[in-house]
Amino acid sequence: MTPGVRPLIAGNWKMHGTLRDAAALAEAVRAGAPAVVERADLLLCPPFVHLHVVAASMAWKPVALGAQDCAAQEKGAHTGDVSAPMLADAGCGYVILGHSERRADHGETDALVRAKAAAAIAAGLVPVICVGESEAQRDAGQAEDVVAAQVAGSLPEGFAAAKGVVAYEPVWAIGTGRTPTEADIAAMHARLRREVSAGQGDATTRLLYGGSVKPGNAAAILALPNVDGALVGGASLVAADFLAIAAAVAAG
Ligand code: 13P
């Protein structure tokens, strides 16, 4: 944790479930949230078409709502895209941008991620910008430099003032059950802190770790310096697991 920074535990539901599943999961998180919101902010990021049922469940706002992507453009002839102002209008406060799955599936570049983040900020949303190296890049000793370049290329002007968030997600740790060692996470987050502070962020920018975060490893990861929360995939689809991860934030 970074002293004085409120942790954020975010669930990225990716492309899972039905409307009914989303409503039930949101309701279960909402029901358990009072026990953990003293320690951490909670954020749920369902698929676009499920945002409205989660927004309804979160009406009294113990938990924030976010989307998993937005367009770089404000409006117009962009079939299939969803704009940042639309997300704000739908009740979102946050948007995940530059997730490695979008970088891989849709060829998203740092420049596009930066443009999307600028659009998000203009719409009043908090961007959660994802960065992280591939396994080959880590094996080649390039992990920190890859992440530093992504930070330099993906964070727009105004990022610090918008309270933007950076999530470090090593690609090889996503959905695999493998995580870096605590020493490796701490080293990366120390570098991230330097790069973010030297760039568009500052010393209080929240730096999340993501990649196979589970109830069993959350306490150790969340206790590391410069780890200000988690971006959780698979475990966020089980309300009890997501809440257990949030509960693993040390009282402080
Ligand atoms: P897992 O928690 O399933 O590894 O996914 C991490 C992730 O990609 C969150 O954005």
In whole numbers, what is the pLDDT of the chain averaged over residues? Answer: 96
Number of the ligand 1 atom closest to the C-alpha atom of 174: 4
β-bridge partners, 11: 44, 232
pLDDT tens track for 194-210: 999 999 999 999 999 99
Q: Which of 99, 133, 144, 195 is catalytic?
A: 99
Helix axes 143-154, 110-122, angle to 10 degrees: 40
Q: Which of 108, 133, 144, 169 is catalytic?
A: 169
Number of the ligand 1 atom closest to the C-alpha atom of 101: 8
19: left (phi over 0), alpha (psi -120 to 50) or beta: alpha
CA-nearest residue, atom 1 of ligand 1: 233
pLDDT tens track for 1-26: 898 999 999 999 999 999 999 999 99
Q: Residue range 223-239: average pLDDT?
A: 98
Distance 111 CA to ligand 1 centre (A): 23
How far is it, in rounded angstroms, from Cα 226 to Cα 58? 29
pLDDT (0 to 100) of residue 57: 84
Neighbours of 3 (CB within 10 A): 7
Characterize the bridge pairing of strands 126-131 and 8-12: unpaired
pLDDT (0 to 100) of residue 43: 97
CA-nearest residue, atom 5 of ligand 1: 233
Contact residues of ligand 1, CB 6 A cut-off: 12, 99, 169, 174-175, 210-213, 231-235
Query: What is the set of domains in the chain, with CATH numbers?
Result: 8-241 (3.20.20.70)
**Is 169 annotated in the active site?**
yes
